[in-house]
A = this chain, B = another copy of it.
Amino acid sequence: MSLEDETLMVLKDELVQAYSNGDVDNAAFAERLKEIRSADIGEMLDVMIEDDDALPAAIAVLGTLSSERAANVLGYLAGYNQLAIVAEQQDSQVLTLLEEMSADERADLFNLLGEDRREALLRRMAHREREDLKRLSSYEEGTAGAIMTSDYVAIASGMTVSQALMRVRQTAPDAETVYQLYILSRDGQLIGTMSLRQLMVARPGAIVDDIMIKEVISTWVGEEQETVARVVARYDLLALPVIDAEQRMVGIVTHDDAMDVAESEATEDFHKGMSIGALEDGVSRVPLWSLYRKRVFWLVLLVFANLFSGAGIAYFEDIIAAQVALVFFLPLLIGSGGNAGAQAATLMVRGMATGDVGVKDWGKMLGRELLVAGALGLTMALAVAPIGVMRGGEAVAIVVALSMVTIVLFGSLMGMCLPFVLERFKVDPATASAPLVTTLIDASGVLIYFSIASAILTSVAV
């Protein structure tokens, strides 16, 4: 990655320069850093560590910040840059940072540490912190539990409005959001919710149980993060409460974390659409070996799948020898089928991911695709027919046009249906990638084209 912001760029270069010369005016830098957002400082440190190889300078910059700010900035860094930094620090420094981090980011960093380091740090924590951290870091990656935070405002059932307001004021500095309050029964079950807005306009003496909303949208701690993000988006929530199997509230997923999840899930789907496995980080920083592994699997598999196209061609060797002009149209026909099919597949995969298309819509979608693909095939046949006449005469033009309609129609329907079939067999529909769909259509296209050619050209006896 690189810094797109000029000001940040300049500051970063000055920092790297100054720290490498050992000629540093910490106070002056601290003053300039004050005006920069934590997210931006985080990005700057990422670049310092990765591109400039200036880890000591990055650590020194963190050192000029207050521990609260430093923890905040650390949370914005890429995982292994966080790891690189804490590897250079004493346990006591790390403990201070961990303490100031938000609960979910703390658990994420903690999960990256080696077992020995984790043990050493846990031993020095207070009992309650230790249990909270152990619990949050125990959830499986990709679940609600792994992205939630335990910093939320819980209100005990039976409290008055003014008691609840007092509680909000007390917890304000710690909680991730104070704007949505959760009312818990004595044994920790989530029984209602209420916005701070509602609380502020309510009569101070009222009991929260009487004004709270009892129909709470919540999610289970083991729910997939993708689903969690969709619920947050669908109901325009600030935060979604997370409950365990006993209906006890264990955390919240905030809107900003849901947005991050939605973005990374979209990226994963983009990559899957080209048969690339899920990358553990952005393409600019993921290790090359990992990038290779995530790309090679399907590429090699499809090499073998492509043998079917070759076999098809070999089978029709005679007709090709008789009419060499046919080979001229081969890339065009199978390419067109592949393109139309990849379009149809992508429309369905994305429609399913956004909830626009459900499995039940299969029949309706098939009808629609039939009409659209038919029209597309006809248009493309009209486009290619004159070229057929020019290269091989009328008979070839008819073969090519007829093949185009058939291949585009067949390819589109196959591309459209594949995601539904995969979903039916509990495979991620995004597996219906462009490379897979085009490879399948290539092979079918060869068969369709040369079958039509054999039938027509043999009968007119060219």
Contacts and interface: CB of A to CB of B under 8 A. Distances in A.
Interface of A: 1-4, 35, 37, 39, 51, 168-169, 172-173, 178-179, 196-197, 200-201, 215, 217, 232-238, 255-256, 258-260, 262-263, 266-267, 269-271, 273-276, 282-285, 288, 291-292, 295-296, 298-300, 302-304, 306-307, 309-311, 313-314, 317, 320-321, 324-325, 327-332, 334-336, 338-340, 342-343, 346-351, 354-358, 360-361, 364-365, 368, 371-372, 375-376, 379-380, 383-384, 387, 434-435, 438-439, 442-443, 446
A217 B37 CA distance: 10
A346 B435 CA distance: 12
Given A283-B356, A332-B310, A295 B372 contact: yes
A351 B283 contact: yes
30 contacts: A1-B361, A2-B360, A35-B215, A179-B196, A179-B197, A233-B263, A237-B256, A258-B259, A263-B266, A270-B270, A274-B347, A283-B348, A283-B351, A283-B365, A288-B372, A291-B372, A295-B340, A295-B372, A296-B376, A300-B380, A300-B383, A303-B332, A310-B327, A310-B329, A310-B332, A314-B328, A331-B443, A335-B442, A339-B439, A342-B435
Contacts of A325: 314
A379 B276 contact: no
Nearest to A255: B255
Nearest to A312: B331
Contacts of A347: 271, 274, 276, 283
Contacts of A276: 343, 346-347
Nearest to A9: B360
Given A4-B360, A259-B262, A339-B439, 17 more contacts: A1-B357, A2-B361, A196-B196, A236-B256, A270-B270, A283-B350, A284-B365, A288-B368, A295-B343, A296-B376, A303-B383, A306-B331, A310-B327, A313-B327, A320-B327, A331-B442, A434-B434
Given A284-B365, A295-B376, A303-B332, A267 B350 contact: yes
Given A1-B358, A283-B356, A335 B302 contact: yes
A145 B78 CA distance: 33
Contacts of A358: 1-4
A288 B169 CA distance: 55
A313 B328 CA distance: 6
A235 B39 contact: yes
Nearest 5 Cβ contacts at the A-B interface? A309-B331, A282-B356, A236-B256, A306-B332, A310-B328
Contacts of A343: 274-276, 295, 299, 435
Contacts of A200: 168-169, 172
- Could you say how many copies of this chain the assembly holds? 2
Nearest to A347: B283
Contacts of A383: 300, 303-304
B435 A1 contact: no
A282 B348 CA distance: 10
The winner among A314, A321, A332, A355 for most chain B CB atoms within 10 A is A332
Nearest to A345: B274
A219 B311 CA distance: 58
A142 to B, nearest CB: 19
A150 B235 CA distance: 21
A339 B201 CA distance: 60
Contacts of A235: 37, 39
A328 to B, nearest CB: 4
Given A271-B350, A351-B284, A306 B196 contact: no
Contacts of A327: 310, 313-314, 320, 327
A201 B365 CA distance: 55
Contact of A321 (B197, B300, B324, B351): B324
A233 B215 contact: no
Contacts of A317: 324
